[in-house]
Amino acid sequence: MPSAEQLQKLWLLSDTVLYPEAIAFIRRLVQDEECAPLPASQVMGLLNVTNIPRYSELDTFIKHQRDRDWTPSKLDIKKFYTELEKILTAMKNKRIKDEFQLVPQDLSPRESSQQVDELMALLAHDFIQHLLAENGVLAAGRAYRR
């Protein structure tokens, strides 16, 4: 269970780092790379899986979606999950300890791994929530322009 200090850092990171990065991520895919916004079914599935307490389960879901045999009309979804997996992996492998400094260095490898998993679940939840909100804005904008 994250400490009160870790949760405070997480909330601050969510507003100051994760929010702008999530917005930039989804805008890059939708506007710059001309991918379609995620469909409602993918939004709901992803939102549901972000409510789990272990990051490893979310990671399994993202990799499963990335590796699915998508039809040509849905390859944007595959690209989304491929890019999301890269961002979250970098966050887990480097940023959570080095940049965000959320995991104490005096922990055993097992304790450290457990903390990373729990904290990553929270970080990923906030990141995904931010990007899905912006996905909705972008989808509404596209629908309005049609």
pLDDT in tens, 29-76: 999 999 999 999 999 999 999 998 889 999 999 999 999 999 999 999
pLDDT in tens, 120-139: 999 999 999 999 999 999 99
Domain that holds residue 56: 4-145
The whole-chain average pLDDT of the chain stands at: 94
* Residue-level pLDDT at 145: 81
* Nearest to 127, CA basis, from 5, 24, 2: 24
Q: Has residue 143 got a pLDDT over 90?
A: no
pLDDT in tens, 65-79: 999 999 999 999 999
The span from the CA of 86 to the CA of 43, in Å, is: 19
In the chain, the percentage of residues whose pLDDT exceeds 70 is 100
Domain count, the chain: 1
User: What angle separates helix 109-145 from helix 19-27, to the nearest 10 degrees?
Assistant: 50
